[in-house]
Amino acid sequence: DTEVTQTPKHLVMGMTNKKSLKCEQHMGHRAMYWYKQKAKKPPELMFVYSYEKLSINESVPSRFSPECPNSSLLNLHLHALQPEDSALYLCASSQVVGRISPDTEAFFGQGTRLTVV
């Protein structure tokens, strides 16, 4: 199983809502990532978790709150978002943490298309 599963596929939320995005993988990967991709733009790294601990936060606003409750699951909690936060949110996972190896590869989910109204 080389799948990274993201739910929901689509989400529409108001600016006062609280919602969560979910990402799951069963490949035994110990690094998980959130990326944000605006239309016609490349993905931009938001957060990196390694061994369930936050290791990189790319200066993301606090209205985005990541959580990694176990090694298979990664959540992104959303609160008080703005319309400019509308984007495709991609989750990824990788096997190796802490060193480069020939097996280094990030597997991506299909993304959650978020629209903030």
Residues 6+ apart with CB under 8 A from 40: none
> 10 or 62, CB closer to other proteins?
10
Specify whether the backbone of 40 is left (phi greater than 0), alpha (psi in -120 to 50) or beta: left
Q: Shortest distance, CB of residue 18 to other proteins, whole angstroms?
A: 25
Footprint on this chain of other proteins (rule: CB under 8 A): 4, 31, 33, 35, 41-45, 48, 50, 55-56, 88, 90, 92, 94, 96-102, 104-111, 113
Query: Judged by CB, which is closer to other proteins: 4, or 76?
Result: 4
> CB of 30: closest distance to other proteins in angstroms?
9
Tell me which amino acid residue 115 is.
Answer: T
How is residue 94 written in tokens? 């990788």
